[in-house]
């Protein structure tokens, strides 16, 4: 099993290209099931989760091709994937495929909307909380689907098609909004989705669906209105930049010091997190096509944050920010309101010398003068990259085990950091 070894102490200087967003690419790929025509997606990151979803969709009979490298593309930038769901031979997503990635459960929406039936295993993914699918199932039931749970599978049927409805989510759910949005595009009549997720990835999915012929208004707000259509067509669409990767590298620069240009990204996608970074003493400046991040020698200031749905501070940046706060002047409070079990990285950061106290949904981080390298274990995708950030400044050598979590969400991580001066390498086997 691969490991990553880091020798800490080097500031980051240079430029890093930001990849397409995994959290946008996955629902966009799934949306190809809504049409028999070809959906071409550009700026798709090269990640394990992308490969896993392609295997699941191939199991349905989806044909896919990955375009050859285009001018300006490198192994650190996105790829172009064409998906054609003309001949679907199966509407069952088996456990052995779905169990590896939570988002794959969302295939239930387009399969049900287009074919009237779907059988999808209950999902797997990172162990960062229960993340139940009850709200996703509720949304489909509101649209007229009959739902049964049988042997760990969700079996959904709508032989006469789905019908528009009013869907009121009791809490904000990105997965539920994706599922309701995709299903509603082919439903008869009008669907109103209230308390919808406002994340940029939801708006990106809606923008692509509109290109495919869907009638959607309000995406990016808390109320989305969808007028169902009889069919959708193919189109071309570029995946938006990964705001979580952007924030991760920005925090790495804040941690190590230095001066890095983050290319091919959009500061507006994570403005709250960037404002928090500025409060910590980091300079963030928008540039044409990206942003520049640098920190002078004045140290890191402690800042309190609470995770919230967009446009608040992203839960997917909580672990990275906690790593940054381990070196801050003073004590910071980090409150996690999205997932109840997303502090598993705390014990691993403590192995590096971090001083962190847990109290319910809050972590209190006492900044320390320095961290020391040690063997650590990745527990989930975002936790694993927080250990990388800490390792970049830890004295001596840090070895991160179980880095397959990193491969699920960060494209060419070692190469991107190494080009900016980090002493980082992958140990195979």
Torsion 64-70-75-79 (CA) sign: negative
Looking at 268-380, list the stretches that DSSP marks H as alpha helix, in order from N- to C-terminal side: 271-279, 318-325, 346-351
Q: Which residues are catalytic?
A: 126
Instruction: Give the model's confidence band at 419: pLDDT under 50 very low, under 70 low, under 90 confident, else very high.
Output: very high
**Least confident range of 105-109, 132-136, 268-272, 358-362:** 132-136
The pLDDT value given to residue 341: 67
On whether 419 is known to bind a ligand per the annotation, the reply is: no
Which of 233, 263, 298 lies at the terminal end of a domain, its last residue? Answer: 233
Shared domain for 196 and 150, answered yes or no, is yes
Q: What is the mean pLDDT of the chain?
A: 93
- CB count within 10 Å of CB 288 equals 5
Residue 191 within any structural domain of the chain: yes
238 pLDDT exceeds 60? yes
Q: What is the CATH number of the domain that holds 113?
A: 3.65.10.10
Shared domain for 8 and 131, answered yes or no, is no
CA terminus-to-terminus distance, the chain: 5
On whether 135 is known to bind a ligand per the annotation, the reply is: yes
Residue 29 within any structural domain of the chain: no
The pLDDT value given to residue 103: 86
Shared domain for 268 and 398, answered yes or no, is yes
CA dihedral of residues 69, 1, 408, 6 (deg, nearest 10): -90
Q: Which of 200, 276, 244 is nearest to 413 (CA)?
A: 244
Q: Does residue 311 have a cis bond before it (omega within 30 degrees)?
A: yes
Residue 125 within any structural domain of the chain: yes
Residue 24 within any structural domain of the chain: no
The answer to whether 379 and 127 are in contact (CB under 8 A) is yes
The answer to whether 267 and 274 are in contact (CB under 8 A) is yes
> Which residues partner with 223 through β-bridges?
194
Mean local confidence (pLDDT), 43-66: 94
Domain span at residue 57 reads 36-90
Shared domain for 416 and 267, answered yes or no, is yes
Residue 421 within any structural domain of the chain: yes
Residue 79 within any structural domain of the chain: yes
Region of 298 on the Ramachandran plot (φ > 0 left; ψ -120 to 50 alpha; else beta) = alpha
Shared domain for 250 and 388, answered yes or no, is yes
Shared domain for 130 and 84, answered yes or no, is no
On whether 163 is known to bind a ligand per the annotation, the reply is: no
**Total number of domains constituting the chain:** 3
pTM for this one?
0.94
Mean local confidence (pLDDT), 361-389: 93
> Percent of the chain at pLDDT above 70?
95
The pLDDT value given to residue 130: 44
Q: What is the pLDDT of residues 266-288, one digit of tens each?
A: 999 999 999 999 999 999 999 99
The answer to whether 79 and 54 are in contact (CB under 8 A) is no
The pLDDT value given to residue 124: 55
Shared domain for 273 and 323, answered yes or no, is yes
Distance CA 378, CA 345 (A): 8
Instruction: Give the model's confidence band at 351: pLDDT under 50 very low, under 70 low, under 90 confident, else very high.
Output: very high
Mean local confidence (pLDDT), 82-92: 95
297 pLDDT exceeds 80? no
Residue 204 within any structural domain of the chain: yes
């Amino acid at each position: 099993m691969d490991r990553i070894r880091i020798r800490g102490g080097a500031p980051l200087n240079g430029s890093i290209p930001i990849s397409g967003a995994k959290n946008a690419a996955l629902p966009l790929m799934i949306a190809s099931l809504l049409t028999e025509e070809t959906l071409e997606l550009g700026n798709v990151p090269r990640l394990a989760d992308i490969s896993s979803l392609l295997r699941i969709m191939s199991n349905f009979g989806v044909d896919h091709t990955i375009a050859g490298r285009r001018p300006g593309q490198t192994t650190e930038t996105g790829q172009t994937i064409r998906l054609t769901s003309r001949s679907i031979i199966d509407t069952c997503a088996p456990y052995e495929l779905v169990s590896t990635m939570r988002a794959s459960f969302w295939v239930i929406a387009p399969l049900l909307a287009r074919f009237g039936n779907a059988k999808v295993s209950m999902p797997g993914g990172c162990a960062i909380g229960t993340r139940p699918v009850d709200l996703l199932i509720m949304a489909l039931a509101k649209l007229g689907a009959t739902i049964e749970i049988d042997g760990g599978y969700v079996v959904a049927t709508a032989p006469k098609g789905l019908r528009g409805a009013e869907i009121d989510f009791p809490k904000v759910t990105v997965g539920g909004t994706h599922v309701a949005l995709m299903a509603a595009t082919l439903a008869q009549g009008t669907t109103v989705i209230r308390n919808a997720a406002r994340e940029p990835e939801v708006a990106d999915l809606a923008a692509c669906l509109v290109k495919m012929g869907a009638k959607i208004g309000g995406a990016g707000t808390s109320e989305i209105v969808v007028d169902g259509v009889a069919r959708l067509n193919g189109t071309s669409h570029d995946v938006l930049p990964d705001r979580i990767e952007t924030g991760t590298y920005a925090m790495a620069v804040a941690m190590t010091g230095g001066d890095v240009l983050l290319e091919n990204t959009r500061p507006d996608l994570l403005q709250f997190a960037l404002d928090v970074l500025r409060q910590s003493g980091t300079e963030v400046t928008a540039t044409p096509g990206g942003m520049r991040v640098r920190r002078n020698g004045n140290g890191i200031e402690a800042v309190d944050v609470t995770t919230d749905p967009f446009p608040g501070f992203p839960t997917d940046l909580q672990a990275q920010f906690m790593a940054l706060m381990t070196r801050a002047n003073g004590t910071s409070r980090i409150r996690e309101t999205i997932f109840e079990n997303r502090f598993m990285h705390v014990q691993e950061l403590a192995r590096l010398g971090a001083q962190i106290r847990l109290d319910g949904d809050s972590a209190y981080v006492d900044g320390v003068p320095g961290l020391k390298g040690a063997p650590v274990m990745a527990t989930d995708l975002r936790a694993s990259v927080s250990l990388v950030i800490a390792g970049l400044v830890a004295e001596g050598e840090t070895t991160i085990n179980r880095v397959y979590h990193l491969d699920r969400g960060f494209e060419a991580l070692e190469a991107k950091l190494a080009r900016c001066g980090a002493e980082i390498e992958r140990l195979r086997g």
